[in-house]
Amino acid sequence: MKAVNIKKFGGAEMLEISEFEKPTPLTGEVLIKVAAAGINRPDIVQRKGHYPPPPGASQILGLECAGEIVKKAADVSGWNVGDRVCALLTGGGYAEYAVANAGCCLPVPAPLDLFQAAALPETYFTVWSNLFERAKLKSGETLLVHGGTSGIGTTAIQMAKAFGVIVISTSGSDEKCRQAKELGADHTINYKTQDFVTETISITSGKGADVILDMVAGDYVGRNVKALNYDGREVIIAVQGGTKVDFDILPVMTKRLTITGSTLRPRDNDFKSEIAISLKKNIWPLLQNGTIKPIIDKYFPIDDVIEAHKYLESGQHFGKIILTV
């Protein structure tokens, strides 16, 4: 089969199309003929050599895909050959075929095609797990989303609004702020020209946000502490601003704050399967009736994977970037 290979850790130019052996589904797995795969920031980090796959996972990039099941292990029930699915992967999505744990697969929602469905798993699993299960976000609360026009951000805005949450979004330009507002954000902050702490406190009449979804970390952690309401929760899901933190811990105590975080890829399939069950119950009906939808900026054919990675790194995108296979 054709798949993307990393010739050497480094820039996007280190990617190439190579021939690989078609994978075989093992116990609990299905083999998917891939129609499309989502591109995510962790793929960039892995390409640079800083995010190795978990033991036993494919070395091929790609944490999500959509396509048709063409084979399944003997113990797999609930899925049949010919079913159209999207799947959360530990790797292997940038390929003509990929194996997925059966519990990490979800049916393609009726209004979407396979190319659109490839944008769902990584961001939807991440946002649901962190905002609604870990941070216990609920109706009437205020959510601050950093990077509101990213794949994660556009998903978080829509999910939160669907459940009656007030959403504040930060972005790096007035145009991206406009896009976030059109998507449903109640308030937007241009972090390059405005201080998000001051603006969040002002928007919330001095209270602060109840939950913050943070993909930056670094010096944002201390600033987020200042921007949180009493009993507020910060969830860190990426460290684009660095892993080192230096801030005053006293407000964490006096405001009874929770600072937490997670990484999804290393978690076991039982954990991910539970998220899939929750998504199918709580979010898939909203996708089917059009309340929320994947926001896709551009599609690139797999042969143009270098350009696709460069585009993601440029930060120009609004929503997801998808590889078509």
Contacts of 151 (CB under 8 A, 6+ apart): 38, 40, 119, 122, 123, 295, 319, 320, 321
Strands 187-190 and 166-171: parallel
Task: Please count the structural domains in the chain.
Answer: 2
Q: Assess whether 174 and 219 both reside in one domain.
A: yes
What pLDDT does 19 receive? 97
pLDDT at 236: 97
- From 261, 294, 310, the end of a domain falls on 261
pLDDT of residue 266: 92
- Note the pLDDT of residue 199: 98
Distance, CA of 236 to CA of 145 (rounded, Å): 11
The pLDDT, as a whole number, for residue 51 is 93
Query: Tens of pLDDT along 253-299?
Result: 999 999 999 999 999 999 999 999 999 999 999 999 999 999 999 99
Q: Which pLDDT score is estimated for 31?
A: 98
- Phi then psi for residue 3, to 5 deg, are -155, 165
Residues 99 and 48 in one domain: yes
Q: Report the pLDDT value the prediction gives residue 273, as an integer from 0 to 100.
A: 98
**Which residue, chain included where needed, has tokens 């860190």?**
236
Query: Is the same domain home to 169 and 254?
Result: yes
Of 261, 278, 296, which one is at a domain's C-terminal end?
Answer: 261
Residues 186 and 251 reside in one and the same domain = yes
Q: Which two tokens stand for residue 299?
A: 């599609």
pTM to 2 decimal places: 0.96
Q: Please tell me whether residues 195 and 257 are part of one structural domain.
A: yes
Find, among 1, 4, 88, the residue nearest to 46 by Cα: 4
Burial class (CB in 10 A: 0-12, 13-18, 19+), 22: middle
The tokens 């201080």 sit on which residue? Answer: 195
- From CA 220, how far away is CA 214, in angstroms rounded? 8
Q: So what's the pLDDT on residue 131?
A: 98
Look at residue 24 in the predicted model and tell me its pLDDT: 97
User: Residues for the chain: how many in total?
Assistant: 325
The proportion of the chain whose per-residue pLDDT surpasses 70, expressed as a percent, equals: 100
Q: How many helices (H) and strands (E) does the chain have?
A: 11, 15
Question: SS3 for 150?
Answer: coil
Q: What is the CATH number of the domain that holds 251?
A: 3.40.50.720
Nearest to 105 by CA among 74, 79, 70: 79
Q: Are residues 109 and 131 in the same domain?
A: no
Q: Which residues in the chain land under pLDDT 50? A: none
d(CA 119, CA 312): 14
| Per-residue DSSP letter, 109 | P
- Three-class secondary structure of residue 190 per DSSP: strand
Q: Say yes or no: 174 and 245 in one domain.
A: yes
Residue 321, pLDDT score: 98
The last residue of one of the domains, among 241, 261, 281, is 261
pLDDT the model gives residue 15: 98
Query: Which residue range forms the structural domain that includes residue 148?
Result: 124-261
Residue 214: per-residue pLDDT: 97
CA-closest candidate to residue 211, choices 111, 323, 118, 136: 136
Q: How far is residue 183 from each of residues 13, 119, 154, 167, 177, measured CA to CA in Å?
A: 34, 17, 7, 11, 10
Say which residues have a Cβ less than 8 Å from residue 56's Cβ, sequence separation at least 6: 90
